[in-house]
């Protein structure tokens, strides 16, 4: 039982240390040229996950009750939990209409807004001033889901079609709003 408690404590300690390192990597210049937050996060997640597993491997040399399974589990648990947290929180914060709307209203809490006011602010500030459309459009070019035809037009790639098919399947499975994945159907 004592070794089980040691192992649990070790898992928690390594998880916390490398989670902090994962977050701190976003405050460095490492991969700063990678404009897609999701991709940068995945790379950082793999790096810190490998380091967490490697740390467990080093400790295995001193604690014989640690197995190869523990090293693999450290990597898997670290990556899975942090991927869920990363996509639910920072990726959502970066892309969310709701986050922008609530933050704007918080910064201007001395005012009241109509629905039309908020919509106008969102369109003018978030979409136009902050270049939300351009950012998402350029991400699609960078990720290879859209291609520049060289004549001022763009086309969806096979990769883009596969992603749309996947999104449609997920929308069907979870019964989400189909207008986003079938925009021409009403």
Same domain for 119 and 71:
no
Stretches in the chain below the pLDDT threshold 70: 186
Are residues 104 and 176 both part of a single domain?
A: yes
Query: What is the tally of structural domains in the chain?
Result: 2
76 in the same domain as 28: yes
Is residue 115 in some structural domain? yes
Residue 185 located in a structural domain: no
Which secondary-structure segment (H or E) carries 146?
Answer: strand 146-148
Task: Write out the two tokens for 134.
Answer: 């351009």
- CA distances 162 to 115, 121, 156, Å, are 36, 34, 10
Note whether 171 and 180 are within 8 A (CB). yes
Contact 36, 98 (CB under 8 A): no
Same-domain pairing of 108 and 175: yes
Q: Indicate if 86 and 13 belong to the same structural domain.
A: yes
Q: How far apart are CA 51 and CA 17, in angstroms?
A: 10
Distance (Å, whole) CA 93 – CA 91: 5
State which of 54, 76, 94 marks the end of a domain.
94
What predicted TM-score, i.e. pTM, was given to this entire model? 0.72
> Are 118 and 86 found together in one domain?
no
Range of the domain at 33: 2-94
Last residue within a domain, chosen from 70, 94, 118: 94
Residue 74 belongs to a domain: yes
Is residue 8 domain-resident?
yes
- Are the C-beta atoms of residues 156 and 141 closer than 8 Å to each other? no
Q: Do residues 140 and 117 share a domain?
A: yes
Q: What is the DSSP letter of 129?
A: I
Same domain assignment for residues 70 and 138? no
Do 88 and 15 share a structural domain?
A: yes
- The SS3 of residue 33 is coil
Identify the domain boundary among 59, 94, 129: 94
29 in a structural domain: yes
Q: Are residues 81 and 114 in the same domain?
A: no
Position 21 scores a pLDDT of 97
Instruction: Give pLDDT, residue 37.
Output: 84
Partnered with residue 154 across adjacent β-strands are 148
């Amino acid at each position: 039982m004592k070794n089980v408690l040691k192992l649990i404590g070790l898992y928690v300690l390594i998880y916390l240390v490398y989670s902090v390192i994962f977050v701190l990597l976003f405050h460095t210049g490492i991969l700063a040229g990678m404009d897609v937050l999701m991709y940068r996060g995945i790379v950082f997640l793999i790096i810190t996950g490998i380091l967490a597993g490697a740390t467990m491997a080093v400790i295995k040399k001193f604690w014989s009750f640690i197995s190869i399974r523990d090293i693999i589990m450290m990597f898997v648990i670290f990556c899975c939990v942090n991927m869920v947290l990363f996509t639910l929180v920072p990726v959502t914060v970066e892309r969310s209409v709701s986050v922008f709307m609530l933050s704007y209203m918080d910064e201007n809490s001395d005012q009241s807004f109509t629905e039309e006011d908020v919509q106008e602010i969102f369109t003018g500030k978030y979409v136009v001033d902050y270049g939300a459309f351009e950012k998402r459009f350029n991400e699609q070019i960078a990720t290879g889901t859209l291609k520049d035809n060289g004549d001022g037009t763009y086309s969806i790639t096979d990769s883009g079609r596969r992603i749309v098919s996947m999104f449609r399947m997920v929308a069907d499975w979870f019964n989400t709003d189909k207008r986003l994945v079938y925009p021409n159907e009403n």
